[in-house]
Amino acid sequence: MRDAELVEIVRSGFREGVHRGSVAVLGADGTLVYALGETGAPLFPRSSNKPLQGLAMLRAGLDLPDDADVALACASHSGETEHVERALAILGKHGLGEDALGCPAELPSHEASRNALLAGGGGARRAAMNCSGKHAAMLATCVQLRWPTEGYLDPAHPLQVAVRETVEELTGERVAATAVDGCGAPLFAFSLAGLAHAFLALVSAEPGTPERRIADAMRAYPYLVAGAGREDTRLMSAVSGLLCKAGAEGVHAAAVPGVGAVALKVTDGAARARLPIMVGALRALGVPASPELDALAEDPVLGRGEPVGVVRLLPDVFGRSSG
């Protein structure tokens, strides 16, 4: 895949390495204003597609009265207490237990929660897996629509057919490939440009629509979407109106109503390169600087536990190529 140099790692004044990737940046009208690397080739968006999966559930008829539950349905959470308890509550309201979840058992990624769980004699569990909210919502959808809960992760299941149709509509593309995501759910391939268009559609939708409800719920509850100190929590708290969702293997997508949208992929999958690129792209779109946003633009490189360098966007990245 053709890509571009985007982020540099500098240690003690010496460039130690470079992260390459691709970025699609859309203006408020959906025009491609920056295209770096390969923005039109299909890729797996990983968890950046969760808002689209959540939208498919709402469109199918899922009734979740609490917007906090809608946010959790689109989350890659840290397995903190509120995340786990809310996922279990969604299941309980629909007569299901934790064993109905099709995602694998994991320990919380949140360090304090993980340590507390282990200290108390607990271990890995499905509800602590970062996708448990999405899976709980998928099962709730099946119960409410009288679809079978068994096999709900099969691409041919009515739920997953609805997800595929929603993905194709919002991206404006046909699904190029289907795979199994880390949580076990079907994963559909499409382009970065398509991912950016989908996010722009969510934030630009009229109030009262399922699209707008997804965007509003995630923006109202960023902690439930990610967790304490996580990049999506911090980004949505730093920029008014911003909707964003990170995905594994270096994927990230965001949109601001009336401003535009960004979708990016770090070729080597490095999560540390996502925020410098995203902040740079948002600045290129004209999102105002703020101390909170500026704090996300660079990541320190440590030596003996102290900052000795930085991970940062290369100069003039968004002056190289325009659509």
pLDDT digits (tens, 9 = 90+) for 123-151: 999 999 999 999 999 999 999 999 999 99
Q: Is 235 helix (H, G, I), strand (E, B) or coil?
A: helix
- Cα separation, 58 vs 290, whole angstroms: 34
Q: What is the pLDDT of residue 319?
A: 83
Q: Report residue 263 as tokens.
A: 């979708």
Beta-carbon neighbour count of residue 200 at 10 Å?
27
- Residues in Cβ contact with 306 at an 8 Å cutoff, skipping those fewer than 6 apart: none
Triad 133, 275, 192: Cα angle to 5° = 75
Q: Report residue 42 as tokens.
A: 């299909």
Q: DSSP string covering 33-46, please?
A: EEEES-SSSEE--G
Triad 272, 274, 276: Cα angle to 5° = 90
Please state whether beta strands 306-313 and 260-266 pair in parallel, antiparallel, or not at all (unpaired): unpaired
Residues making up the chain, counted from first to last:
323
Kindly list the distances between the CA atom of residue 244 and the CA atoms of 14, 99, 259, in Å, as whole numbers in the listed order.
Answer: 33, 30, 14
Q: What is the pLDDT of residue 162?
A: 98
Q: Is 20 helix (H, G, I), strand (E, B) or coil?
A: strand
The residues of the chain scoring below 70 in pLDDT are 1, 320-323
- Positive or negative, the CA dihedral 89, 209, 143, 73 is negative
Q: What is the pLDDT of residue 1?
A: 54
Q: What is the pLDDT of residue 321?
A: 56
